[in-house]
Structure 1
Amino acid sequence: MVFKSGALLLVIIGAYLLKHLHIFGERDYKVAQGLVFNMTLPCAIIMSFATNKHDMRMLWIVLFGFICCLVPLFLVYFGSFRDEKQYRAFQMLNASGLNLGAFCLPVIQTFMGPSAGLPVIMMDIGNAMVATAGALTITRTLLHMDENFKALPLILRLRNIARDFLGSISFDIYMLMLVFMFAHITIPQPIVTLITPFANANAFCTMAMIGLMMEVPSVRKDRIELLKVIAWRAVFSVFIALGAWYLMPFPLHIREILTLAAFSPITIFSTKFTDSLTGNAKLAGFSLTATAVISLVAMTALHAVLPAA
């Protein structure tokens, strides 16, 4: 298990070093981003649905994921009132939300096999309802950061929000798989065979993307704000993990998966939204990388100490 997590960490470090050897450029992470969000992650989602039984009780995990993403967003809003507006936005966007599909899914499948992916995906369906677009809308509305958006007619605002959601292929696949689950539709085996190589590449591509995004911020205030986000996330992760372990009505192995998922890092969408609202791309990228390394260590340790199913 230590070697598995070490291999994932090695991919992050390797991609970071290759960037600093000028084999990759500063913006090449967008190529890896495109591969993950448009190819490997959607295929991994489909693969997990195709190779696991769909218990309708799993819908409780969707609700759990939604609450775990939405509630911290408002708690940080009230808890960060003394900070400057741009740093409040940074804290709200990065202290809330879980990087389940792009990070947690490949990590947990590396630890526990492909069958462990379905609970992560069900949790991410609820999480994604906020993280893929809702967090941006709520943050800029509460902090009054986008006068142009506020000036738009209601129908145009709703259309922009809908475009944010539907423009995410991963979110679209989540919704499609949910429809398949309700309709009891089985994914044909030839499709599973076709997407298997892409799904298997998800872990490597995700870790490489994180390594390519990594860059240490030079401003001291940025580093302080990152420490605040890490502190916020540590508190939220503990409460989410306790809720997953003691409250969720599922077998031991599913509760372990949800407990590990509670320690997921900052979402890719949060880094994108941070860049768009504050213009601080360097802080956004390093925040993801820093919390990804912390999450990898925490998830490895938890998997080692939690009771085996």
Structure 2
Amino acid sequence: MIFKSGALLLVIVGAYALKHLHIFGPRDYKVAQGLVFNMTLPCAIILSFATNKHDMHMLWIVLFGFICCLVPFFIVYFGSRGDEKPYRAFQMLNASGLNLGAFCLPVIQTFMGASAGLPVIMMDIGNAMVATAGALTITRTLLHMDENFKTLPLVLRLRGIAHDFLGSVSFDIYMLMLVFMFAHITIPDPIVTLITPFANANAFMTMAMIGLMMEIPTEHKDRIELLKVIAWRAAFSVVIALAAWYIMPFDMRIREILVLAAFSPITIFSTKFTDSLTGNAKLAGFSLTVTAVIGLVAMTVAHALLPGA
């Protein structure tokens, strides 16, 4: 298990090193990002649905993921009062939300096998309802950061929010798999065979993307804000993990998967939204990398200690 987590960490470090050896450029992470969100992650989602049994009882995990993503926004909003508005936005966007599909899914499947992917995906359906677009709208509205958005007619604002949701291939696949689940539709075997190589590449591509995004901030204030985000996320992770283990009505294996998911890092969407609201994509990218390393260590320790495997 240590070697498995070490291998994932090595991919992050390796991609970061190759960037600083000028084999990759500073914005080449967008190529990896495009491959992950439009190819490997959607295939991993479909493969998990196709190869694992699921029932309607697992919809409780969707609700759990939604609450785990939404509630921290408002806690951080009230807890960050007194800070500068751009840094409040940074804290709200990066202290909440779970990087389940792009990070947690490949890590947990590496630890516990492909069958462990379905609870992660179900949790991410609820999480994604907020993280893929709702996070930006909530932050922008509560902090009054986008006057142009406020002046748009309601129809155009709703259209923009809908575009944010539907423009995400991963979110679209989540919704399609949810429909298949309700309709009891199974994925044909030829499709499973076709997407398996892409799904198997998801773990490597995700870790490489994180390594390519990594850049150390130079501003002292940025480092302080990063520490605040780490503290917020640590507190939320512990609460979510305890709720998953003691409250969720599932067997021990699924509860362990949800506990591991609680230690997921900052979402990729948070880096995009931070850039659009504050222009500080560099800090958001480094924050993602730091919380990914911390999350990987925490998930490894939790998997070793919990009896659900």
TM-score tier after normalising by the smaller chain length: over 0.9
1:1-309 mapped onto 2 (5 Å cutoff): 1-309=1-309
Distance, in Å, in 2 between the alignment partners of 1:156 and 1:4 is 47
SS in 2 for 1:298: helix
**AA of the residue aligned to 1:40:** T
Deviation at 1:308, TM superposition (A): 3.6
SS in 2 for 1:265: coil
Distance, in Å, in 2 between the alignment partners of 1:129 and 1:31 is 25
**AA of the residue aligned to 2:277:** L
SS in 2 for 1:53: coil
**AA of the residue aligned to 1:273:** F
Deviations 1:75-126 (A, max 9, x none): 0000001100000000000000000000000000000000000000000000
Deviations 1:145-179 (A, max 9, x none): 00000000000000000000000000000000000
Distance, in Å, in 1 between the alignment partners of 2:140 and 2:308 is 43
Deviation at 1:242, TM superposition (A): 0.4
Deviations 1:3-36 (A, max 9, x none): 0000000000000000000000000000000000
Task: Tell me the C-alpha RMSD between the 2 structures.
Answer: 0.4
CA contact (8 A) 2:166 2:172 kept: yes
Deviations 1:244-272 (A, max 9, x none): 00000000000000000000000000011
**AA of the residue aligned to 1:110:** T
Distance, in Å, in 2 between the alignment partners of 1:300 and 1:272 is 28
CA contact (8 A) 2:255 2:308 kept: no
Deviation at 1:54, TM superposition (A): 1.2
Distance, in Å, in 1 between the alignment partners of 2:27 and 2:235 is 33
Distance, in Å, in 1 between the alignment partners of 2:153 and 2:276 is 22
Give TM-score scaled by structure 2 length: 1.00
SS in 2 for 1:266: coil
Q: Which structure 1 segments of 5+ residues have no match?
A: none
Distance, in Å, in 1 between the alignment partners of 2:200 and 2:138 is 35
Deviating beyond 4 angstroms after TM superposition, the runs of 4 or more aligned structure 1 residues are none
Distance, in Å, in 2 between the alignment partners of 1:66 and 1:240 is 12
SS in 1 for 2:98: coil
Deviations 1:40-90 (A, max 9, x none): 000000000000011110000000000000000000000001100000000
Distance, in Å, in 1 between the alignment partners of 2:180 and 2:260 is 27
Distance, in Å, in 2 between the alignment partners of 1:73 and 1:237 is 14
Distance, in Å, in 1 between the alignment partners of 2:210 and 2:220 is 22
Distance, in Å, in 2 between the alignment partners of 1:118 and 1:7 is 23
Distance, in Å, in 2 between the alignment partners of 1:46 and 1:174 is 8
Equivalences, count: 309
**AA of the residue aligned to 1:134:** G
**AA of the residue aligned to 1:122:** M
